[in-house]
C-alpha cells in the first residue's frame, strides 16, 4: 500500500491499452484514490467504465488544447477533494502526416499541434494543479520516449516535442521544488497502444528492442506502471527533475 491516502489525477486514458490505464490500476492496487479525465465524448464511453472499475472519485472531460477544460477539471475536483497528491500526464498527439517521412516535411500547423498537446499541456495542467498540491509532498509524472535524445525513423516532430517535454520536466522541477513538489518523467520503451499506432514502422522499432535491449524483450504497460508507483510514492521523496528509463535497458546499448 505504497500510495495509501494519496489522491491521484490521471490524464491520458483512452482505452485498456493506455499506459495511463496501467498506471491507474497499479495506483488503485497501492491504495491511491483516483480521478481521471477523457479527451473526447467518444472516448468517454470507453473511459467511464474503466474509471468506475477503480472507483474513481471523478471522471471529467478535458481536451488539453482548451484552457477552459483544464480549469474546469480543477474546479470540479475541488468539489470532491481537498487537494491533489499526484498528477499523471500521459498525453501526446501529432498528426499522422507528421509521423512518416522525415522531419523536413513538418508543417507549421503540425508542429504547433504536437507541441501544444504533448508539451504545453503539461505546463498548463501544472499551473492549474499547483494550488491543490501545496503542502502535500506532491508529485507529477509525465511520459517521454528515447526519440527525445536520439533519432528514430518517422518519429520526427514528436522527437522534438519529447525533447521539449523533458526540458520542461527540469524547469518545472526547479520552479516547484522549493514547495516540496517533485516532477519526473518516465522514458518508456515502445509499447503497442493507440498513440503508437500512429508512428509509421512501429513494428520495426519493437523488433529492434527485442533483439538489442539488454533484457531482450519489449516492455509492458505494467512495467511502466510499477516504476510510476515508485516515482509517485514517498519512496522517491528525494527524486525530482529525473528522466527515468523503463526500456529494458535499450538506451545503454551502443550497437
Which residues are the active-site residues? 145, 155
Least Å distance between CB 218 and ligand NAD? 9
User: Of these, 26, 64, 94, 141, which contacts ligand NAD (CB under 6 A)?
Assistant: 64
- By CB under 6 A, the count of residues binding ligand NAD is 27
Question: Could you identify the residue written with the cell 503508437?
Answer: 196
**Which span (17-25, 27-35, 225-233, 236-244) binds ligand NAD, by CB under 6 A?**
17-25
User: How many CA atoms are closer than 13 Å to the CA of 117, on its beta-carbon side?
Assistant: 18
Site membership for ligand NAD, residue 91 (CB under 6 A) = yes
Site membership for ligand NAD, residue 124 (CB under 6 A) = no
Share of the chain residues as helix, strand and coil, in percent rounded to the nearest 5: 50, 15, 35
Question: Could you identify the residue written with the cell 472531460?
Answer: 61
Strands (E), 118-240: 139-144, 182-188
Q: For residues 168 and 26, what is the distance between their CA atoms, to the nearest angstrom?
A: 26
- Within 159-218, the residues that bind ligand NAD by CB under 6 A are 188, 190-191, 193-196
Q: Across the strands, what pairs with 60?
A: 37
DSSP summary character for residue 92:
-
**Which span (63-71, 95-103, 128-136, 233-241) binds ligand NAD, by CB under 6 A?**
63-71
Site membership for ligand NAD, residue 129 (CB under 6 A) = no
Contact 10, 64 (CB under 8 A): no
| Residue 87 parent element (H or E) | strand 86-89
Site membership for ligand NAD, residue 65 (CB under 6 A) = yes
C-alpha dist (Å) from residue 184 to 29, 55, 107, 156, 170? 21, 26, 30, 23, 8
Least Å distance between CB 193 and ligand NAD? 3
- Cβ atoms within 10 Å of 135's Cβ, excluding its own: 9
User: Of these, 10, 12, 232, 243, which contacts ligand NAD (CB under 6 A)?
Assistant: 12
Site membership for ligand NAD, residue 92 (CB under 6 A) = yes
Site membership for ligand NAD, residue 152 (CB under 6 A) = no
Least Å distance between CB 150 and ligand NAD? 13
Site membership for ligand NAD, residue 145 (CB under 6 A) = yes
Number of H helices, E strands in the chain: 8, 7
Site residues, ligand NAD (CB under 6 A): 12-14, 18-20, 39, 43, 62-65, 90-93, 117, 143-145, 188, 190-191, 193-196
Amino acid at each position: 500500500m505504497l500510495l495509501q491516502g494519496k489522491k491521484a489525477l490521471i490524464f491520458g486514458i483512452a482505452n485498456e491499452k493506455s499506459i495511463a490505464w496501467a498506471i491507474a490500476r497499479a495506483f488503485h492496487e497501492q491504495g491511491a484514490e483516483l480521478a481521471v479525465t477523457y479527451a473526447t465524448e467518444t472516448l468517454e464511453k470507453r473511459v467511464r467504465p474503466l474509471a468506475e472499475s477503480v472507483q474513481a472519485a471523478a471522471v471529467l472531460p478535458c481536451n488539453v488544447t482548451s484552457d477552459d477544460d483544464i480549469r474546469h477539471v480543477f474546479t470540479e475536483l475541488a468539489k470532491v477533494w481537498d487537494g491533489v497528491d499526484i498528477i499523471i500526464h500521459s498525453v501526446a498527439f501529432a498528426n499522422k502526416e507528421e509521423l512518416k517521412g522525415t522531419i523536413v516535411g513538418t508543417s507549421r500547423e503540425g508542429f504547433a499541434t504536437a507541441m501544444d498537446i504533448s508539451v504545453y499541456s503539461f505546463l498548463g495542467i501544472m499551473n492549474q494543479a499547483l494550488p491543490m498540491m501545496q503542502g502535500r509532498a506532491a508529485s507529477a509524472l509525465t511520459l517521454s520516449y528515447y526519440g527525445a535524445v536520439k533519432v528514430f525513423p518517422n518519429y520526427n516532430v514528436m522527437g522534438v516535442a519529447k525533447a521539449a517535454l523533458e526540458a520542461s520536466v527540469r524547469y518545472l522541477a526547479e520552479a516547484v521544488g522549493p514547495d516540496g513538489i517533485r516532477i519526473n518523467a518516465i522514458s518508456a520503451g515502445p509499447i503497442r497502444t493507440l498513440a503508437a499506432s500512429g508512428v509509421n514502422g512501429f513494428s520495426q522499432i519493437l523488433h529492434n528492442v527485442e533483439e538489442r535491449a539488454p533484457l531482450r524483450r519489449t516492455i509492458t504497460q505494467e512495467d511502466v506502471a510499477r516504476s510510476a508507483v515508485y516515482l509517485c510514492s514517498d519512496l522517491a521523496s528525494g527524486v525530482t527533475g529525473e528522466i527515468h528509463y523503463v526500456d529494458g535497458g535499450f538506451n545503454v546499448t551502443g550497437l
